[in-house]
């Protein structure tokens, strides 16, 4: 067998838009071209959000192309002082070129959705052809691209009235990058309608050349009218709760203009409607802003119910009880939102939880106490849901109670027994276990501290596993006996829906992760197959950023060195100086306070929990890899593998 060479020639440097063309799924959805069209629409919406555009017109043409027209300021057409090329050309051909990184002073966009810096350049990379027309300074400018490259240089194609400004972008998506060339009409209509809702007073039109169909939206009552229309006139005993709150220049916690606008409806029957947006970007997967809304509503309703002695004895209200019958439209403005992935479906900004929660709670406290009867009706809905949840949990407890062994003494159990919610954290060391116990939510999170490194159980018979105290305690705590992949295992005794491995973010912590993963893969494979095993991901670094301009001081937690480098590079691009940055490294979980551990690693709204699965390798290949790495008789093969593959490891020594 010939060995492939790994030398200087093996390294390929992708330039320009080549990374997008080779791995389009890393940058956008590839099921259809809707997302690359939305990138252009979002740019037009950002112009409207900044107060410079009054209409957005999207046309789906008969040849499959889509054009987006706005009357904003028009993309700058002058030569960039550093790059020596027209700015409009750079915007469509450079992955990290745009007007949305600068947040200082009179920046072009204080608030915008396109913050990844790869938006319309990705659109260009994945299009056969892209034409741009800019009306600016009394002239009409045109430039044309094909396959991401300039094929017609920027030229002045005519004169226009000085009052006429704006941009027209027409794209022809390349079919080879998408599973289907058809743009889902209903999704496009929903996206355009939501833009009109969120941009009060802006006229939004959507035209289809093939059918001569045209839709037009122009909302004056914004979110409230949208939610009312979307609920199809459902009967409501409780009126809509609408409010908005934005930070002013005296706010010490949030940047000027950051804030939230919401409309909430409580219905006692029927399906709920929930939509959220960040700087006009739809977030269908929710995120930290929705978590903040849930927390604010819960805290306010709970306080109201306790004040008026409405909660029956033995009933404990939880956030899900208050939120169960809630429909809402939520629009948040953040100066520098952090999204999960390039398609921006989920907001990850931790500060959004606290901001939305505090703003919503303050307004709802006043609203409930001014409308006591409505407050009692809301509390009644929540109490009914809590009682139903309690009855369901009691049935589960009764079914599982027979034959359960005595739980380990060092297990700090949770109060709930509903496996849809409960979590067990297997924590490295007593010190970290102490922080986890103090930081957890005792309602649904249990803690089992482990002393030292767990036994390598790859070649240990399941009948002899219980000789090891740590493995015995894990098995008894989770309520499932060791088994093999061929066993017919009854998982009805499972006490926790999520089993989370929580270890330090260093090399020793990774070793403990491997030993525990070995245990679960070898002796509890059904738990892995059913998706019950997870890895908690604590940060290795904390990056403190001093206050600057509109932004107050902030803390950014980073999982590893690469993420730290990314944020430092991004902050420097925003003009943050080295002296404004301070880096702290956590030596271990025990060094983190309970609050830090909760915020970064255990809070379901802000943590990054990694599910464990077999992935693309499959069971057989995974077994072979575990045998190579963990088998005692494979020392020679393991050494050879390390010599050949060791250069690929990302090791923090």
Rounded CA-CA distance 646/488 in Å is 39
Task: Write the DSSP assignment of 579-604 as a string of letters.
Answer: GGEEEEE-S-GGGS-HHHHIIIII-T
Burial class of 303 by CB neighbour count within 10 A (0 to 12, 13 to 18, 19+)? middle
Tokens of 637: 């093969």
Catalytic residues: 428, 504, 506, 508
Inter-axis angle of helices 288-307 and 351-370, nearest 10: 30
Tokens of 384: 């009914």
Q: Calculate the dihedral angle through the C-alpha atoms of 437, 442, 446, 449, rounding to the nearest 10 degrees.
A: 10
DSSP 3-state helix, strand, coil percentages of the chain (rounded to 5)?
Answer: 40, 20, 40
Exposure string (b/e) for 458-476, b if CB count within 10 Å is 16 or more? bebebeebeebebbebbbb
Rounded CA-CA distance 187/29 in Å is 14
Q: Which of 242, 243, 327, 341 is nearest to 285 (CA)?
A: 341
Contact 293, 328 (CB under 8 A): yes
Give bridge partners of residue 610 from the DSSP assignment: 535
The DSSP output letter for 405 is P
Rounded CA-CA distance 424/401 in Å is 18
Q: Which of 525, 523, 384 is nearest to 454 (CA)?
A: 523
143: Cβ–Cβ under 8 A, 6 or more apart, which residues? 86, 88, 89, 92, 131, 132, 150, 152, 153, 154, 155
Dihedral over Cα of 89, 93, 94, 98: its sign = positive
Give bridge partners of residue 554 from the DSSP assignment: 545
Task: Please list the alpha-helical segments (H only) found in 182-234.
Answer: 185-198, 222-230
Detail the DSSP E strand segments found in 256-386: 259-266, 274-278, 281-282, 326-333
Tokens of 267: 């219905």
């Amino acid at each position: 067998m010939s060995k492939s060479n790994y030398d200087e020639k093996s390294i390929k440097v992708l330039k320009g838009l080549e990374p997008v063309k080779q791995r389009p799924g890393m940058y956008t959805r590839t099921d259809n071209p809707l997302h690359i069209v939305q990138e252009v629409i979002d740019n037009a919406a950002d112009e409207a959000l900044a107060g410079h555009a009054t209409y957005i017109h999207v046309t789906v043409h008969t040849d499959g192309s889509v054009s987006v027209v706005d009357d904003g300021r028009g993309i700058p057409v002058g030569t960039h002082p550093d790059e020596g090329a027209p700015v409009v050309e750079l915007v469509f051909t450079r992955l990290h070129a745009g007007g949305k990184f600068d947040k200082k002073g009179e920046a072009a966009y204080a608030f915008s959705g396109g913050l990844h810096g790869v938006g319309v350049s990705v659109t260009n990379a994945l299009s056969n052809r892209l034409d741009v027309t800019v009306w600016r300074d009394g002239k009409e400018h045109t430039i044309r691209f094909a396959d991401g490259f300039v094929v017609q240089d920027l030229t002045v194609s005519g004169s226009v009235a000085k009052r006429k400004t704006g941009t027209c972008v027409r794209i022809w998506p390349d079919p080879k990058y998408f599973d289907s060339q058809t743009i889902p009409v209903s999704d496009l209509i929903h996206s355009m309608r939501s833009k009109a809702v969120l941009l009060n007073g802006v006229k939004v039109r959507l035209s289809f050349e093939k059918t001569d169909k045209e839709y037009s939206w122009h909302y004056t009552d914004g979110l409230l009218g949208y939610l009312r229309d979307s609920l199809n006139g459902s009967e409501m005993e409780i009126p809509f709760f609408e409010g908005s709150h934005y930070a002013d220049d005296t706010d010490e916690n949030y940047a000027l203009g950051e804030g939230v606008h919401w409309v909430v409806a409580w219905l006692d029957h029927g399906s709920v409607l929930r939509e959220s947006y960040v700087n006009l970007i739809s977030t269908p997967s929710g995120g930290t802003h929705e978590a903040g809304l849930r927390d604010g509503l819960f805290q306010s309703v709970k306080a109201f119910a306790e004040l008026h002695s409405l909660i029956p004895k033995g009933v404990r209200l939880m956030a899900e009880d208050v939120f169960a019958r809630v429909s809402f439209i939520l629009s948040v403005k953040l100066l520098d939102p952090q999204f999960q992935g390039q398609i921006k479906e989920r907001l990850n900004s931790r500060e959004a939880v606290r901001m939305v929660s505090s703003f919503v709670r303050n307004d709802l406290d006043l609203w409930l106490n001014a409308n006591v009867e409505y407050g009692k009706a809301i509390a009644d809905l929540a109490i009914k849901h809590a009682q139903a949840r309690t009855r369901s949990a009691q049935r589960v407890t009764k079914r599982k109670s027979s034959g359960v062994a005595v739980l380990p003494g060092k297990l700090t159990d949770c109060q709930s027994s509903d496996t849809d919610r409960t979590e067990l954290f297997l924590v490295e060391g007593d010190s970290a276990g102490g922080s986890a116990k103090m930081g957890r939510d005792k309602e649904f999170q249990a803690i089992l501290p482990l002393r030292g490194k767990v036994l390598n159980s790859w070649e240990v018979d399941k009948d002899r596993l219980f000789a090891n105290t740590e493995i015995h305690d894990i098995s008894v705590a989770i309520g499932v006996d060791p088994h093999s992949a061929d066993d017919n295992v009854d998982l009805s005794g499972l006490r926790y829906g999520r089993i989370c491995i929580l270890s330090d973010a260093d090399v020793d912590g990774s070793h403990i992760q491997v030993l525990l993963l070995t245990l679960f893969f070898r002796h509890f494979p059904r738990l892995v197959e059913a998706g019950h095993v997870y890895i908690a991901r604590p940060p290795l670094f904390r990056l403190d950023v001093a206050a600057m301009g509109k932004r107050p001081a902030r803390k950014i937690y980073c999982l590893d060195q690469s993420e730290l480098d990314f944020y430092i590079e991004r902050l420097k691009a925003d003009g943050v100086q080295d002296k404004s940055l301070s880096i702290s490294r956590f030596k271990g979980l025990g060094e983190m306070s309970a609050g830090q551990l909760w915020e970064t690693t255990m809070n379901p709204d802000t943590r990054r929990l990694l599910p464990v699965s077999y992935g693309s390798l499959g069971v057989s290949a995974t077994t072979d890899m575990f045998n190579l790495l963990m088998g005692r008789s494979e020392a020679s093969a393991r050494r050879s593998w390390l010599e050949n593959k060791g250069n690929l490891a990302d090791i923090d020594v």
